Amino acid sequence: MKNQDTFKGNLGGRISYAMRAYAPLMILIGLVILFTFISPNFMTSYNIRILIRQVSFTAISAVGLMFVMIGGGIDLSIGSQIILTNIVLSIMMVDFQIPLIIGIPLTLVLGTILGIINGMLSIKLKIHPLIVTLGTAAIYKGLGFIIASSRNIMGFPDFFRFFGQGYIGPIPVPIVVMIIVALIGNFVLVRTYFGRYTFALGGNEEAARLAGVNTNRMKVTLFAICGFISAITSILLLSRVFAGQTSTGAGIEFDCLTAALLGGVSFKGGEGTIFGLITGVLIIGVLNNAMQLASFPDFSQNVVKGVVLLAAVGFDTYQKNRKAKETVARVAA
C-alpha cells in the first residue's frame, strides 16, 4: 500500500524494507523453484490449475478474515459458519425445493447474519473476538450438526455444479470468484474511506474513536463482511462437493489464519495487504500440492506447514523488532 510506505534514506534500510515487504513472495518463488526441480509433475499447466483451484476456497475466506484482522479482530468461526450455511443451503434445495435464485441470496444473508452475531457479541459483551468466535464456532457447528441430523444431503439441481466445478473460458469458476473477491477487497482497503477506517481501527482504536469513527459499527461491519464472504466460499464448496456434509469447510479458518500471517497480516491489527495474503495462500497451496505429488505422508505435511509458518512469522517479527529498536533509539537520541 502506497500510504504505508516508509521513507527510507539509505540503501541498507531500503534493502531491509524490501526484504520485509517481499519476504513472503521470495519464499513462494523459492518453493516453486525447489519443487520444479524435485518433482517433474509440479510445473505443468494441469497441476498449476489444480493447485490454484485447491487454494481458491481458502483464499476467498482469507480475504474476509483479513478485513477482521486488519481491524484488530479475529474470526475462528469461519469453518463453522461454512458448515452451517452449507447444511442450510442443502436442506433448502433438497428438502424444500427452494430455487437457487432465492436459496443463494438467503445463504449470503445467513452468512452475513452469523458475522453480525459475532460482531454484536464482541461489542456487547466486550470480550475479545478470539473468545467470542471460539464460542460461536462451537455453536454454529453444533447447529449445523443438529439440523443435518447425520445425513448426507444429496439431490441438487444439476446446474448448481457450475459454481464449484464449472469454467468461465479456460478458468475454473472458484478461481474467477477468488480474483474478483481479491480485487474488490484490495480496492476497498486501499481506495475507500472504509478501508482507512479499518486500518485505523486496528492501528489505534481509541484514536479512531476520537477522530469520529463509530468503532462499534465498524467492528460489526467487518465481521459481517467476513460472514458474507464465508457464505460465498460455502456455496462454492457445496457445489464442488455436491453433497451437504458436516465436514465441508471444517477447520478452514486455520489455513486462512496461517496464510494471513505468512502474508504479513498483523495479528495485532492495522497491517496487511491482499497481495501478501494471496502470496501466503499460495505458499500453503504449493506446500500441500507438492508434498502430495511427492507422496509425503499427511502428518509430515503438517510438520512442514508448521515450520514454515513459524519461520516466516519469526523472521518478520525479528525484522520488525530490530527496526523498532533502531527507531526508538533514533527518536530517543
Partner 1 sequence: MNSNVVLSLKDITKKYPGVLALDRVSLDFMEGEVHALLGENGAGKSTLIKAVAGAIDLDGGLITVNGVEHPKMTPHISRGLGIEVIYQEFNLVPTMSVAENIFLGDRTNKSILVDFKTMKTKTREIFSLFNVDINPDAMVQDLPPAKQQIVEIAKAVSKNVKILIMDEPSAPLSVAEVEHMFDIIRHLKQSGVSVIYISHRLEEVFRISDRVTVMRDGQYVATKLTKETNRKELIGLMVGRELKESYPARSNPRGEIALEVKNLSGNGDKDISFSVRKGEILGISGLVGAGRTELAMLLFGADPIESGEIWVEGKPVQIQSPQDAIQNGIGLLTEDRKGKGLFLEMGVGWNISFPIIRRLSKYGIVNTKTENEIAEKYKQRINIKTPSLMQRVINLSGGNQQKVVLAKSLAAESDILIFDEPTRGIDVGAKQEIYHLMRELANNGIAILMISSEMEELLGMSDRIIVLCEGKLAGEVKREQFSQDYILDLASGTH
Which residues are near partner 1 by CB under 8 A?
A: 2-7, 9-10, 12-13, 191-194, 196-197, 199-200, 203-204, 206-214, 270-271, 326-327, 329-333
- Quick one: 206 or 298, whose CB is closer to partner 1? 206
What is the C-alpha separation between 256 and 260, in angstroms, rounded?
6
In angstroms, what is the minimal distance from the CB of 8 to partner 1?
10
- The alpha carbon dihedral of 256, 262, 268, 273 has a sign of negative
What's the grid cell of residue 16?
A: 531491509
Q: What number of CA atoms fall less than 13 Å from residue 318's CA on the CB side?
A: 9
What is the C-alpha separation between 321 and 223, in angstroms, rounded?
30
CB 70 within 8 A of CB 185: no
- Quick one: 9 or 170, whose CB is closer to partner 1? 9
Lookup result for grid cell 477482521: 68
In angstroms, what is the minimal distance from the CB of 9 to partner 1?
6
Per DSSP, what are the bridge partners of residue 168? Answer: 171
- Quick one: 101 or 329, whose CB is closer to partner 1? 329
- Quick one: 66 or 104, whose CB is closer to partner 1? 66
Per DSSP, the residues of 101-131 read HHHHHHHHHHHHHHHHHHHHHHHHH---HHH
In angstroms, what is the minimal distance from the CB of 148 to partner 1?
39
In angstroms, what is the minimal distance from the CB of 204 to partner 1?
5
- Quick one: 193 or 318, whose CB is closer to partner 1? 193
What is the C-alpha separation between 64 and 61, in angstroms, rounded?
5
What's the grid cell of residue 271?
A: 497491517
In angstroms, what is the minimal distance from the CB of 318 to partner 1?
18
What is the C-alpha separation between 281 and 286, in angstroms, rounded?
9
In angstroms, what is the minimal distance from the CB of 189 to partner 1?
11
- Quick one: 38 or 211, whose CB is closer to partner 1? 211
Per DSSP, the residues of 250-286 read TTHHHHHHHHHHHTT--TTSS---HHHHHHHHHHHHH
In angstroms, what is the minimal distance from the CB of 72 to partner 1?
12
- Quick one: 6 or 317, whose CB is closer to partner 1? 6
